[in-house]
Amino acid sequence: MIKGIVKFAALSAVIAALSSCAASNTPAANSAENAAATDASDFVLLAEAVPDAIMEIRYYSTYNFVGDRIDGYEEPCALLTKEAAAALKNASDDAVEKGYRLKIYDAYRPQTAVQNFVEWAEDTDDTRMKEYFYPELDKSVLFDQGYIAEKSGHSRGSTVDLTLFDMSKGKELDMGGTFDYFGELSHPDYTGELTAEQIQNRNILRDIMVENGFNPLDTEWWHFTLANEPYPDTYFDFPVSGSSVESE
């Protein structure tokens, strides 16, 4: 009996010690993770890094699938990691040589904005923008079908949403569907009712981006991520603002 009590006491001491270690280590780990998530030192302003690009930051405006300015977008600007911005500059140079300019809809997206999307999706009564961005879908299926998620690759800082602007015609190339449209129409390999010109335009954008180190997404023709992204496991959460990346 005494031996049993001693063994139990020893086991309890070990469990207590392990719990104590976990309790003491968790705040430090969380603190380091939070510090990394708010460190914008490896990010740059796209207007400076890619001066030929046109900026139309949809989440700073109210013309997006939510219908409001999105949390975390403090200025109508775009940010990317230095590595992604350098690759995008090369893509921009290629586009210019072909008579186009890149038009940016979104780039780095703070986790705060992603949470804004989640909260909007949970409010199934708010369907103000349904006819423009998800006319074929009931809002209740957006989570299940992967259109809204609790994390986004954009928050890792090396993903960009964009299209091509035709300089000779003074307008965007016709891609056969709008940015952020929730549906099969947005799939890069969708043909359906697209014209040959629209399919070709999607391929022009895809070729420019892939040849400059970006990977496409199979559900969104406008979405590209740097193949060798520098922060594959970090989801940043600092504001989209020029002040976030201002040199000290």
Rounded to an integer, what distance in angstroms lies between the CA atom of residue 107 and that of residue 230?
Answer: 15
Point out the least confidently predicted range of 26-30, 153-157, 229-233: 26-30
Give the pLDDT score at 18. 35
Q: What is the mean pLDDT of residues 81-95?
A: 98
In this model, does residue 247 exceed pLDDT 60? no
Q: How confident is the model at residue 6 (pLDDT cuts 50, 70, 90)?
A: very low
Nearest-5° angle of CA 46, CA 47, CA 52?
105
Give the pLDDT score at 37. 92
The count of structural domains within the chain is 2
For 51, 195, 217, 243, the CA distances from 77, given in Å and listed in that order, are 12, 33, 23, 11
Q: What is the mean pLDDT of residues 227-235?
A: 97
Same domain, 58 and 101: yes
Give the pLDDT score at 35. 56
Same domain, 197 and 239: yes
Annotated catalytic residue 220: yes
Same domain, 7 and 45: no
Instruction: Look up tokens 């070729």; give the residue.
Output: 207
SS3 163: strand
> 228: domain range?
41-244
pLDDT over 70 for what percent of the chain?
A: 85
In this model, does residue 204 exceed pLDDT 80? yes
Give the pLDDT score at 248. 42
Q: Which of 220, 229, 246, 248 is catalytic?
A: 220
Same domain, 105 and 223: yes
Same domain, 115 and 71: yes
Same domain, 203 and 123: yes
Give the pLDDT score at 14. 36
Q: Decide: 73 and 117 in contact? Cβ < 8 Å.
A: no
In this model, does residue 22 exceed pLDDT 70? no
DSSP state of 70: P
Nearest-5° angle of CA 209, CA 215, CA 218?
110
Same domain, 21 and 64: no
Same domain, 85 and 21: no
Point out the least confidently predicted range of 7-21, 179-193, 200-214: 7-21
Higher pLDDT: 122 or 31? It is 122
Q: What is the mean pLDDT of residues 196-204?
A: 97
Same domain, 30 and 140: no
Give the pLDDT score at 33. 53
SS3 154: helix
In this model, does residue 136 exceed pLDDT 50? yes
SS3 234: coil
Q: How many CA atoms lie within 13 A of 99 on its CB side?
A: 10
State pTM to two decimals: 0.86
Give the pLDDT score at 246. 84
Give the pLDDT score at 120. 98
Higher pLDDT: 167 or 13? It is 167
Same domain, 26 and 55: no
Q: How confident is the model at residue 36 (pLDDT cuts 50, 70, 90)?
A: low
pLDDT 10s digits, 37-84: 999 999 999 999 999 999 999 999 999 999 999 999 999 999 999 999
In this model, does residue 16 exceed pLDDT 80? no
Q: What is the mean pLDDT of residues 153-175?
A: 97
